[in-house]
Structure 1
Amino acid sequence: MGGHHAHHAARESRSLRRLAVAVVAPLALLTVVALVVLWPSGGLPTSENAAAAAESRGEVVSLERETCAEELPDDVNGCGTAKVTLSDGPDAGQTVTVPLPNGIGAPEVAEGHRVVLITTTTPDGETYAIVDHQRASGMWVLVGAFVLALVAFGRLRGVTALVGLGITFALLILFMVPAVLAGSSPLLVALVASSAIILSVLYLTHGFSMSTTVAVLGTLASLALTGALSALAVSALHLTGVTDDISNSLGVSHTVNMQGLLLAGIVIGSLGVLDDVTVTQAATVTELARANPAYRFLDLYRAGSRVGRSHIASVVNTIVLAYAGSSLPLLILIVANNNSLGGVLTDQVIAQEVVRSIVATLGLIAAVPVTTALAALVFGGRGEETSAG
């Protein structure tokens, strides 16, 4: 009897694997075809309406401070000039004199600081102005610390996570951004990029297994629902996606569909939390089936759902705080200028963030029962096979 059961279970396992391949393979093929069709050609389009000022880099060698003739409203460095030795550009090696920067957001400078300058052409010739600090070295140190910590703790999983992160950035920078600038639908591009990220990164990070396949299918289904809900909410609430000077400039200079870009941002922003939930649910059901081989579909679904409810309760707060943190300056400004709570919540800037949070949460809530049901269906009564799958 034991041999017959094992033989039957093995055949059932092979059937499920073939079924998983039959479902995932067409999705992967469709994603590849969409990537090829939507991949922009001919390089990035440039804007004819806005030309970026030429930038140079240099090091502050000395400061010459002066007494201000009148009080500065946004005093950062006071009055006077700085001597900066340029390190690149046509005037590399030369030392130029520039006014000390002041105003909101102006960089505070001192001798030895490496700064970024812009060049402006005037009737009297070219003038330089300090606009920012150079941060490349500090950023590389931070990235290096991140890589070392991840690899030291995660070991091989840490390495695969880094490779997956590289794939994600490559798809966003090399495919999604150029495709949107080329005029493709931002929502369609976001869904295709997300599908490519899911199919490549999840399998790379977690291995080729039935548990990962369940997580992939659960993530794709939840992401499709998130896209549909975001489109419905944005349309119903008449959100334009234009809420500040940056979004307005992007829409005018590059003729990007800003409403579509808002939808794309919701989809991409939801993806990171979605795959966390689906992978956790699939792994939880897998471990439950391994620990209790006699558990059937309903047993696994109920136990997995209890874990999922606890996970969702904590993740929802994470989503809201993440969106609130990213828009905190705007939130403070709107609250300061509007005493009505209803007016604050219905302002387009805040309403946009509320829609992001709610739609992402609804996608997460859907991800738990979908992924848990798929995993329970696959592993119900087959716990002895999960170690191999």
Structure 2
Amino acid sequence: MGAGHSHDGPPPRASERTTTILATLVGLILFATAMGAAAVWPNDFSFRGSVPSIPDGATWVGATIATVNSDGTATAVVHGEEARGARNIATLGDPTIVLHVGDKVRALELTDGTLGFSDFERGSPMLWLFLLYVVVVVAVARWRGVGALLGLAAAFGVVVFFTIPALFDGRDALGVGLVTGSGALFVLLYLAHGPNARTTTAYLGTLAGLSVTAVLAWWAVGASKLTGVWTDANTQMEFSDRGVSLRGMVLCGIILAGLGVLNDVTVTQASAVWELRAARPDLGWRQLFVRAMRIGRDHIASTVYTIAFVYVGAALPTLMLVMLYGQSLGITLTSSDIAEEVVRTLVSSIGLVLAVPLTTLIGALVVAGRSIAHEPTARGGPEVVAPAPHPS
């Protein structure tokens, strides 16, 4: 056969072998995830609603601010009780609460009819923002966006109905974090990107990065003596009295915090390998790996400082508070308030960086010499690729 003579694709046995290997790996991972879930599955769900949030006989009501006086006092009309007129609403002298006429607020109504300000009503603007988010995602990403939103909802269900109850039940935090990550990623990736070799490559790469993150987090939390202690002593007592490990919460939080960024990097790298293969079907796995890593290095560089700024933004109030005190930079960064964010950033970044070459290598090995003429592209349509030439 001449070097330029085309054919219908690689030998069927080679393609079937690749598919079988990928399916076997995913099957083993899902089996291990199911076994891990069974081992750390929570048995006690009595924690839900076990702490009363309001005094006996009191009720939450919605109200609209009717008047605001110069001395800071205000009146409000309770929704559904407009005929009763405006009543005084107490803010307990909190200077951070600034009320304006027409503000929608949530108040606590005591048995004697007294109203106490609790918070502003934010339901309507947040609902509109969420609807805008859904519309934008679906309009731009279309069915992939719908799958991503469904996967996100399912992943949050895993956290709410498995992860949090398991931590309250005193289960091993490392196992809970790994099971949550593996299960949530499977649902997210395959709903958003479909069941194909590209998605499986991203899934395996993400799990590899997640495993690195989990091991590093387990070591770093112990070596750095991160206790999970913060300033709200009452909240700490609520967790401690229920047998919840504060250090375990930190460990599980670090593992889960890296999922989103890891997923972003691995999906992008898998797509890069597939697109390179589509453009240059003559490239072997080594060339695919080298070329895709050029893209991966740029992605690493941008994502590393993205992670850092995400955590800086989340910890900004704490950073500002720490800066009020006359301490050296070294003491500040290693203080209990900041050290947890620093460790989380470093561990997540290391896992992210290592996930890029691992995903790229998996993708290059999977796609090299394999016909991808019928696999969906990142744009949702079929790829039409000239097959790699056979040696004569």
Normalised by the shorter chain, which TM-score bucket? 0.7 to 0.9
Q: 2:270 aligns with which of 277, 282, 291?
A: 282
Count residues with an aligned counterpart. 369
Say if 2:115 is the partner of 1:114: no
- Residue 294 of structure 1, CA deviation: 1.6
State which drifts further: 270-279 or 33-42.
33-42
1:94 to 1:253, Cα distance in 2 relative to 1, 3 A: farther
In structure 1, C-alpha distance between the alignment counterparts of 2:152 and 2:346, rounded to whole Å:
26
The alpha-carbon distance between structure 1 residues 249 and 134, as it changes in their structure 2 partners (threshold 3 A), is farther
Partner of 1:83: 76
Distance in 1 (CA, whole Å) between partners of 2:69 and 2:90 is: 10
Tell me, yes or no, if the aligned pair for 1:171 and 1:193 is still in contact at 8 Å.
Answer: yes
Give CA deviations for 1:13-61 in whole Å, capped at 9, x if unaligned. Answer: 111101111110121133234335544345341587x532255122235
Match status 1:335 vs 2:328: no
| Contact 1:218 1:370 (8 Å CA) reproduced | yes
Which residue of the partner structure matches residue 188 of structure 1?
A: 175
* Superposed displacement of residue 184, structure 1: 1.8
The question of whether the paired residues in 2 share the 8 Å contact of 1:86 and 1:94 is answered with no
**Aligned 8 A contact 1:86 1:96 in 2:** no
**3-state SS of 1:117 partner:** strand
Q: Secondary structure at the match of 2:69?
A: strand
Higher-RCO chain (CA-CA 8 Å, sequence separation at least 6): 2
Describe the SS at the equivalent of 2:261: helix
Q: Deviations over 1:169-227 (max 9, x none)?
A: 21122221222222222332121111111111111111111111111111111101100
The one-letter code sitting in structure 1 at the alignment partner of 2:63 is E
Partner of 2:18: 16
Distance 1:289 1:261, change over 3 A: same
Q: Confirm or deny: 8 A CA contact 2:213 2:347 kept in the other structure.
A: yes
Question: Structure 2 vs 1, CA of residues 257 and 94 (structure 1 numbering), >3 Å: closer, same or farther?
Answer: farther
5 Å matches for 1:180-219? 180-219=167-206
Q: 1:71 maps to which residue?
A: none
Percentage identity across paired residues of the two chains:
35
Does the CA-based 8 Å contact 2:173-2:248 persist in structure 1? yes
Equivalent residue, structure 1, for 2:302: 314
Higher mean alpha-carbon deviation, 5-14 vs 236-245, is at 5-14
Contact 2:227/2:246 (8 A) holds in 1: yes
Partners of 2:330 and 2:251 in 1: how far apart? 24
The runs of 5 or more residues in structure 2 that have no matched partner are 376-392
Read off the aligned partner of 2:37 and give its amino acid letter: L
Q: Compared with structure 1, are the counterparts of its residues 44 and 105 closer, same or farther at alpha carbon in structure 2 (3 Å cutoff)? A: farther
Tell me if 1:388 matches 2:390. no
* TM-score, normalised relative to structure 2: 0.86
Contact kept? 1:101, 1:131, Cα under 8 Å: no
Give the Cα separation in 2 of the matches to 1:174 and 1:286.
36
In structure 1, the residue matched to 2:63 is 59
Q: Does 1:27 align with 2:29?
A: yes
Give 3-state SS (helix, strand or coil) of 2:291's partner. helix
Contact residue 289 and residue 381 of structure 1 kept, 8 A = no
1:379 pairs with 2:367: yes
Q: Contact (CA 8 Å) 2:105, 2:121: kept in 1 or not?
A: yes
- Cα deviation for residue 158 of structure 1 reads 1.4
SS of the residue aligned with 1:337?
coil
